[in-house]
Amino acid sequence: MEILTEITGIPAKDPALLQCLVSVLAPCMLLQLGRRGIPGLVQAILRMPRNKVVEHLHRFAIAGLEAMGGNYRLHRPGRRKK
């Protein structure tokens, strides 16, 4: 949670950070399940070069976390509106 707070600026106790955690962990968990032989699109992803998958997941996660951080700063409670 500390890493997510560092990236997003969202306090650790804010429920929005837990949503961020789920969004980052879900693709990783899906790939772990796929390693157990569950058929479907996950198998196609697992056949891709590992470094390409890791790079994509990293870029996607960071972009999402930064976007959520921006949204939080824009709409956080107590923010003065101009």
- Residue range of the domain that includes 33: 2-74
Instruction: Indicate whether 79 belongs to any domain.
Output: no
The structural domain count of the chain equals 1
Instruction: Find the mean pLDDT for residues 16-36.
Output: 92
Q: Is residue 80 part of a domain?
A: no
- Residue 81, in any domain of the structure: no
Q: Residue 82: inside a domain, yes or no?
A: no
The pLDDT value given to residue 82? 55
38: in domain: yes
User: What average pLDDT does the segment 34-49 reach?
Assistant: 86
Tokens of 2: 């500390």
33 vs 66, higher pLDDT: 66
Query: CB-based burial of residue 65 (10 Å sphere; 0-12 exposed, 13-18 middle, 19+ buried)?
Result: buried
Query: Which residue shows structure tokens 């990783």?
Result: 28
Read off the pLDDT band of 1 (50, 70, 90): very high
Instruction: Over range 65-75, report the average pLDDT.
Output: 95
The reported pTM is: 0.82
Report DSSP letters for 2-59, one per residue: HHHHHHH---TTSHHHHHHHHHHHHHHHHHHHHTTT--SHHHHHHTS-HHHHHHHHHH
Q: How far apart are CA 18 and CA 53, in angstroms?
A: 24
As a whole number, the mean pLDDT across the chain is 91
Asked if residue 8 is part of any domain, the answer here is yes
